Amino acid sequence: MTHAIELLSATRSFRSDDAVQDVTLAVPEGAICGVLGRNGAGKTTVMSLISGQDRPTTGRVLVDGEDPFENEAVLSRISFVRDNQRYPDDYFLHHVLGIAPAFAPYWDGELAAELVERFRLPRKPAIRKFSRGQLSAVAIVLGLASRSPITLLDEPYLGLDATARGLFHDILLRDLGLYPRTLLLSTHLIDESESLFDHIVLMDRGRVVLRTEAEEARHLAMCVSGVADAVQAFAADYPVLYSHSIGGLQTSTVTGRLDDDARSRAATLGVRVKGASLQDLAVAYGSGDALQDSSKEGISA
């Protein structure tokens, strides 16, 4: 299988801090890959590395099999708009839309115009006066209308209202159907975006703690809740990723497949058990308790 994007033990250090630490991942061509993790987990840094806006301190980054850094041929195929993208102070929307095609050989002006209209982006005032949601909409216009074979969307939902989020999904999927591309999308709105993804990368504190195909993610872990003693008895058989308790009640997220054995054991102990959702997994890994257990289970990257 061709990998559109590959990171091989990539580390990016800033002075003493590793923003990204020993990250290895591969995204197949045409995949829609969700990049999840808490603030500061390293998602934006990974995207910067892939888009050649930054270089790894050690390790390698490959896009279509080549190093993207200062590589014109590869860079012309990549679109990346940061979540905190800055624009010149005197820029209006038309300036941005005017200059964008120069950086995006696959730019589609009609799609850009449609997006601007449907997101209700104003011609005035200057972009620096745009709200958070309007800035996100500008980033979506740039990201989708560029129709780049490799498209990186960094927190595209920030500040977007519910109608605009639905609109984004509509147009994204419609346009991907017409012009397939490899898409990396980072987000905190996991429940809402989960069904878009076929691949998942979950990061915490600069490391990849989980990478999986989306369908597999549903079978990796379970959430068990009930009276603390019973939950602990159930959880004793599995590596625990995360626990949360209030009074005598406890919820634990544990790795392991929710199979008939687990169900009947839960029934015997009188606890509720369900398959962990992607959001449950992100919360569990983001709690920081999980690292040592996940490596033991071999589901970390």
Partner 1 sequence: MFTEDSPIYQQLATQIADDVVAGTYPEDAAVPSSNEFATFLHMNPATAGKALNVLVEQGILYKKRGVGMFVSPGARSQLLKQRRTDFPQQYVRPLIREARAVGIDPVELAEMIKEEYTP
Binding site for partner 1 (CB under 8 A): 30-32, 166, 169-170, 173-174, 176-177, 195-198, 214-215, 218, 274-275, 277
Q: Which lies closer to partner 1 via its Cβ, residue 16 or residue 195? A: 195
Q: Give the shortest CB-110-to-partner 1 separation in angstroms.
A: 18
Q: Give bridge partners of residue 35 from the DSSP assignment.
A: 186, 201
Q: Closest separation between CB of residue 219 and partner 1, Å? A: 9
**Whole-angstrom distance, CA of residue 32 vs CA of residue 266:** 35
- Smallest gap from residue 192 Cβ to partner 1 (A): 9
The residue assigned the tokens 């990849």 is: 208
Cβ proximity to partner 1: between 30 and 40 the closer is 30
User: What is the nearest approach in angstroms of partner 1 to the Cβ of residue 143?
Assistant: 17
What is the closest distance, in whole angstroms, from the C-beta atom of residue 26 to partner 1 in the complex? 16
**Angle 162-178/109-118 helices, nearest 10 degrees?**
160
Which CB sits closer to partner 1, 40 or 275? Answer: 275
Q: Which is nearer to partner 1, 28 or 101 (CB)?
A: 28
* 60 vs 257 by CB, closer to partner 1: 257
CA dist 47 and 293 (Å) reads 27
Q: Least Å distance between CB 183 and partner 1?
A: 10
Least Å distance between CB 171 and partner 1?
A: 9
Minimum CB distance to partner 1 smaller for 10 or for 115: 115
- The residue among 60 and 174 lying less far from partner 1, judged by its C-beta, is 174
Task: Transcribe the chain into DSSP letters.
Answer: --EEEEEEEEEEEETTEEEEEEEEEEEETT-EEEEEE-TTSSHHHHHHHHTTSS--SEEEEEETTB--TT-HHHHTTEEEE-TT----TT--HHHHHHHHHHH-TT--HHHHHHHHHHTT--S-S-GGG--HHHHHHHHHHHHHHT--SEEEEESTTTT--HHHHHHHHHHHHHHHHHS--EEEEE-S-HHHHGGG-SEEEEEETTEEEEEEEHHHHTTSEEEEEEEHHHHHHHHTTS-EEEEEEETTEEEEEEES---HHHHHHHHHHT-EEEEPPHHHHHHHHHTTS-HHHHHHHT---
Closer residue to partner 1 in complex, CB, 218/265: 218
**Min separation Cβ 216 and partner 1, Å:** 9
Q: State the Cα–Cα distance between residues 53 and 246, nearest whole angstrom.
A: 45
